[in-house]
Chains A and B, each alone.
Chain A
Amino acid sequence: MNYIIGAFKPACNISIAFTDGKNRKQVPMKKENGQMVMVPLFQSQENISGKISIEPALGKKVEHNGIKIELLGQIEMYFDKGNFYDFTSLVRELDVPGDIYEKKTYPFEFSTVEMPYETYSGVNVRLRYVLKVTVSRGYAGSIVEYQDFMVRNYSPPPSINNSIKMEVGIEDCLHIEFEYNKSKYHLKDVIIGKIYFLLVRIKIKNMDLEIRRRESTGSGANTHVETETLAKFELMDGAPVRGESIPIRLFLSPYELTPTHRNINNKFSVKYYLNLVLVDEEDRRYFKQQEITIYRLAETT
């Protein structure tokens, strides 16, 4: 029995270990099957180094045509599943063709790797970074092992960060002026602002502030746009009168946001909008959408 099972077992066990694996921050990542796994976190320009161990199954030898490790940055469109577009591809040859009889370890290092894009998992698109170890074999098929890792890139606080201020309205019906204190927010930021009612002739029931994420994939005629409402935050209950000013304070931390991604490799964009929605007593909605930029601020430790 053991023999038979052994026949279907992979010929060898490949493990990938990062140099600072124990100290490096691990973050959760959702796998394709929906499971969450902890993966190490990197940012652009970091050295990615470690060791590969290949351990043949007991008493077997592994015959190979060479061993290599690749660092891949891939974009996968869900409508084109399984077809990865590699925007980054680095290769290190680890071994020349030969046989492995016992556990063998290969160090590897990719130094100052350019990883301009962040790992992203959206509705229609996925951007991932992965280490791929390939033990090439002729007829038996290559043995491949993947190790995902996550990339997050931090931005400094923007030098220019104007507030968003706007007066909108429907003639003789509703005039409001709203203000958000910034146009660029980091992920744990707070949106402070206010809505000032200049004219109210409709019976407003309530007012919400929504955070909407717009993910567009593809280009030209094939563009897919997917919009999600990530937050629906009630700002006001009841009908204001002229002259009222309603405060806004929305903490972004509870929501699962990502930084804004603009035209990533010509494949996709992720943009964030603040949508101010007023609902009247007949459930008619009046809204105004404003784009905001979200960035990842370096976390101070």
Chain B
Amino acid sequence: MIGDGGVDEEEKYLAAGIAGLQQNAFYMHRALDSNNLKDALKYSAQMLSELRTSRLSPHKYYELYMRAFDELRKLEMFFREETKRGCSTIELYELVQHAGNILPRLYLLCTVGSVYIRSKEAPAKDVLKDLVEMCRGIQHPLRGLFLRSYLSQVSRDKLPDIGSEYEGDADTVSDAVEFVLQNFTEMNKLWVRMQHQGPAREKEKREKERSELRDLVGKNLHVLGQIEGVDLDLYKDIVLPRILEQVVNCKDELAQYYLMDCIIQVFPDDYHLQTLETILGACPQLQPSVDIKTILSRLMERLSNYAASSAEVLPEFFQVEAFAKLNSAIGKVIEAQVDMPIDGVVTLYSSLLTFTLHVHHDRLDYVDQILGACVGKLSVVGKLEDSKATKQIVALLSAPLEKYNDIDTALKLTNYPRVLEFLDQGTNKVMANVIIQTIMKNKTCISSADKVEALFELIKGLIKDLDGNLDEVDDEDFNEEQNAVARLIQMLYNDDPKEMLKIICTVKKHIMVGGAKRLPFTVPPLIFCSLKLVRRLQSQEENAGEEEEDASVTPKKIFQILNQMIEALSVIPVPELALRLYLQCAEAANDCDLEPVAYEFFTQAYILYEEEISDSKAQVTAIHLIIGSLQRLHVFGVENRDTLTHKATGYSAKLLKKPEQCRAVYACSHLFWVDDQDSIKDGERVMFCLKRALRIANAVQQMATATRGSSGSVMLFIEILNKYLYFFEKGNPQVTVASIQGLIELITTEMQSDNTTSDPAADAFFASTMRYIQFQKDKGGAVGEKYEPIKT
């Protein structure tokens, strides 16, 4: 029906049409200006004849139509004036029907009809009925649609609605509704028919064109939605059944989909709720190719929003058993549409779930039921390959999490993990991430071993390698995932130590199977988690005194577990990490006064240092860590401490680079002087360390001179000077004013010597050290006195 010519050709036709229209409009205007009714009718009919074309696509036709529409508005004004001048409307109504061509005739008739209703010389309903009947003469889909659209346009504000000035007798609303429904029905028929006309090869093009026209049809539903008088009863008894009848009977995919959507969008929420059965009943009757899932999803979405809008409406939902109806409707639709892809199925369930969450917060069983049904459907297809479907499943599974803000609830859903099963590994991970994010966002605390067990079951995609591909994962992603798991572990907490221990054991069980890549991420948080428990036990003990304590949860026991965990790390191996953890544990054990345990941890750390840490940089870091930790530990007896400090000093002196050696050694000095521990204040050994450090620093200078011809920086000396000052201040008798004085002089000399490389940092450091001494001097009092003898 649409011209076969190209786009250019069509443009030409349009241009010709517009030209013809304008020309006749010009004559029409002239006739209007001179009040010549006869000519006005003649030229307007000629003008409208341009709309008889079959050569334009809907888009172009619309353009032409709009021009004609504008002209018709002017004509209508003229008609109105004409009737004021005494021409009877009924005569005018007859007069325009003399036109020989039907299309102009009907446009004119609608225009006069509008004037006729406005004049109130006849009831609006009679005129409207006549117009809508007469329009049957246009059976050409495109022209018919536009004509009826015109009718709809001019009649919109003239329906005999309740409260309208055109209100008629008792059945006035029915009349209004009847008119719109009839126009709608006819338009839809024309619209659907369009699909079946013309050659089959242009099917797609036609579909596209039809799609452009759909709003013309849908506008009628809009009008219906706006009729004041359409109350629930009328909607339920007449409007909806009539629309659905047309929708179902037209058997057209495009129309059915669009119109169902229109219905859902146009009418009020509570109407939908009260007519749920009817509208759902229509769904399985639609064509199999119609995208029912989207329709139903939209419906449920609307209802969900409605439910969310106010709690007051919820009883309505219960009253109509919305859930049961939706659930069974979905079942029926899935059954009816055998070819529905699995993503559709999941989408449906996902929407239903959202709906349920909004309406029945408290009905976890419903949620589980939905998930169960979903599992049932998924089990037929097996593992999902389809990305759309997996996306939908993620949405499905995320919904309860978002709603309940609480993973607890999800953990109670027995079918939840079963749905997860069907996801591929990647999506499983995504889902696990979502779960973790939810927990993080809501700061949910997981407080029982059972829940932890369930939770880790859910996120097992992150916890261990599932069968299949391994290497695809991007490192960055992997790190992020594992960090998330680490954060999750921190969220596990129970006030009851016993339960907490259980939780720790559960987590341990899960993470231990995670493999070498994951353990470095997952073990530390668990260890810290456990250490927290240890501290708690400790503080409880202190507070509660000798209260009866369950023997099953003791720090000792926890330390055993910790030991196992760290051991697992050493296999990987990540010695640096393991070493740190050992040290942490040792400190905790120290706080618990468990000397053997602390010793054991330290021993482990030393072994690691000796056997595993070979990188010199790592060694430096490790040795400083060891020194730092060891310094704080007070639990050790003299013997043990000696052993440990001795070892540490030994390690320090054996570092590869001299400056590092030097630094480690002077750090070791602290091992022998702990400020708040009177038992550990061995000034001699402190001095010994410092001297040794000085020797090493000297050696460094010499080496520098030997290898580079200039002595190196005096940095080390300044650092050692600071240590001197520290111990001097702390009251180490071995550190004398003389020794300090000597060191200062040494540094000054070195700095002034010619072959010393100048080092601004060292200069600044030395200057500030000197300032410090001066400052202490100026302070006066005991400190001032102490510093007084030092000359700067």
A80 within 8 A of B: no
Chain B: interface secondary structure?
helix
Known: A247-B133, A251-B94. A237 touches B100 (CB 8 A): no
Residue of A at shortest CB range from B103? A237
Interface residues of B in 417-462 (CB under 8 A from A): none
Known: A238-B143, A238-B144, A241-B193. A247 touches B102 (CB 8 A): no
Which of the candidate stretches A48-56, A139-147, A228-236 sits at the interface with the other chain? A228-236
Residue of B at shortest CB range from A200? B139
The reply to whether B100 and A240 form a contact with Cβ atoms under 8 Å apart is no
How does the 8 Å CB contact mask read for A181-207 relative to B, with 1 for contact and 0 for none? 000000000000000000000001010
B137 within 8 A of A: yes
Cα distance A238–B137 when bound, in Å?
8
The reply to whether B136 and A234 form a contact with Cβ atoms under 8 Å apart is no
Please name all residues of chain A whose beta carbon is closer than 8 Å to the beta carbon of B134 when the two chains form the complex.
Answer: 247, 249
Cα distance A259–B435 when bound, in Å?
91
A254 within 8 A of B: yes
Cα distance A237–B134 when bound, in Å?
12
Please name all residues of chain B whose beta carbon is closer than 8 Å to the beta carbon of A253 when the two chains form the complex.
Answer: 98
Residue of A at shortest CB range from B196? A241
Please name all residues of chain B whose beta carbon is closer than 8 Å to the beta carbon of A19 when the two chains form the complex.
Answer: none
Where the two chains meet, the residues of A that have a C-beta atom closer than 8 Å to any C-beta of B are 204, 206, 231-241, 244-247, 249, 251, 253-254
Most buried by A among B94, B143, B144: B94
Interface residues of B in 110-158 (CB under 8 A from A): 133-134, 136-141, 143-144
The reply to whether B144 and A251 form a contact with Cβ atoms under 8 Å apart is no
Please name all residues of chain B whose beta carbon is closer than 8 Å to the beta carbon of A244 when the two chains form the complex.
Answer: 136, 139
Please name all residues of chain A whose beta carbon is closer than 8 Å to the beta carbon of B133 when the two chains form the complex.
Answer: 247
* CB<8 Å pairs between A and B, sample of 13: A234-B100, A234-B105, A235-B137, A236-B138, A237-B139, A237-B140, A240-B139, A241-B139, A244-B136, A245-B136, A246-B137, A247-B134, A254-B98
Cα distance A234–B98 when bound, in Å?
10
How does the 8 Å CB contact mask read for B657-672 relative to A, with 1 for contact and 0 for none? 0000000000000000
CB distance from B706 to the nearest CB of A (A): 108
Cα distance A239–B190 when bound, in Å?
10
CB distance from B290 to the nearest CB of A (A): 22
B52 within 8 A of A: yes
B101 within 8 A of A: yes
The reply to whether B137 and A251 form a contact with Cβ atoms under 8 Å apart is no
Contact-residue bracket for chain B = 20 to 34
B83 within 8 A of A: no
Cα distance A204–B1 when bound, in Å?
12
Q: What number of residue pairs across chains A and B have CB atoms under 8 A from each other?
A: 55
Please name all residues of chain A whose beta carbon is closer than 8 Å to the beta carbon of B137 when the two chains form the complex.
Answer: 234-237, 246-247
How does the 8 Å CB contact mask read for B48-81 relative to A, with 1 for contact and 0 for none? 0000100000000000000000000000000000
Task: Specify which of B97, B102, B189, B193 is in contact with A237 (CB 8 Å cutoff).
Answer: B102
B197 within 8 A of A: yes
The reply to whether A236 and B102 form a contact with Cβ atoms under 8 Å apart is yes
Please name all residues of chain A whose beta carbon is closer than 8 Å to the beta carbon of B94 when the two chains form the complex.
Answer: 251
Cα distance A149–B139 when bound, in Å?
49
In the complex, besides A234-B105, A244-B139, A246-B137, 16 extra interface pairs with C-beta distance below 8 angstroms are A232-B100, A234-B102, A236-B102, A236-B139, A237-B52, A237-B138, A237-B139, A237-B140, A238-B139, A238-B140, A238-B143, A239-B139, A245-B136, A246-B136, A247-B133, A247-B137
Task: Specify which of B52, B98, B103, B140 is in contact with A239 (CB 8 Å cutoff).
Answer: B140
The reply to whether A238 and B141 form a contact with Cβ atoms under 8 Å apart is yes
CB distance from A9 to the nearest CB of B (A): 44
Please name all residues of chain A whose beta carbon is closer than 8 Å to the beta carbon of B143 when the two chains form the complex.
Answer: 237-238
Cα distance A241–B189 when bound, in Å?
10
How does the 8 Å CB contact mask read for B693-706 relative to A, with 1 for contact and 0 for none? 00000000000000
How does the 8 Å CB contact mask read for B177-197 relative to A, with 1 for contact and 0 for none? 000000000000100010001
Known: A238-B143, A239-B197, A241-B193. A251 touches B136 (CB 8 A): no
CB distance from B147 to the nearest CB of A (A): 9
Cα distance A226–B624 when bound, in Å?
126
Cα distance A211–B438 when bound, in Å?
81
By Cβ-Cβ distance, the 4 closest A-B pairs, closest first, are A238-B140, A238-B139, A234-B102, A240-B139
Cα distance A233–B138 when bound, in Å?
14
Cα distance A240–B190 when bound, in Å?
9
Known: A247-B134, A249-B134. A235 touches B102 (CB 8 A): yes
Please name all residues of chain B whose beta carbon is closer than 8 Å to the beta carbon of A235 when the two chains form the complex.
Answer: 102, 137
Please name all residues of chain A whose beta carbon is closer than 8 Å to the beta carbon of B141 when the two chains form the complex.
Answer: 238
Interface residues of B in 93-109 (CB under 8 A from A): 94, 97-98, 100-103, 105
Cα distance A234–B101 when bound, in Å?
5
The reply to whether A238 and B138 form a contact with Cβ atoms under 8 Å apart is yes
Cα distance A295–B143 when bound, in Å?
38
Please name all residues of chain A whose beta carbon is closer than 8 Å to the beta carbon of B189 when the two chains form the complex.
Answer: 241
CB distance from A177 to the nearest CB of B (A): 15
Residue of A at shortest CB range from B134? A247
Residue of A at shortest CB range from B142? A238
The reply to whether A251 and B97 form a contact with Cβ atoms under 8 Å apart is yes
Interface residues of B in 529-586 (CB under 8 A from A): none
Please name all residues of chain A whose beta carbon is closer than 8 Å to the beta carbon of B140 when the two chains form the complex.
Answer: 237-239
Cα distance A190–B143 when bound, in Å?
26
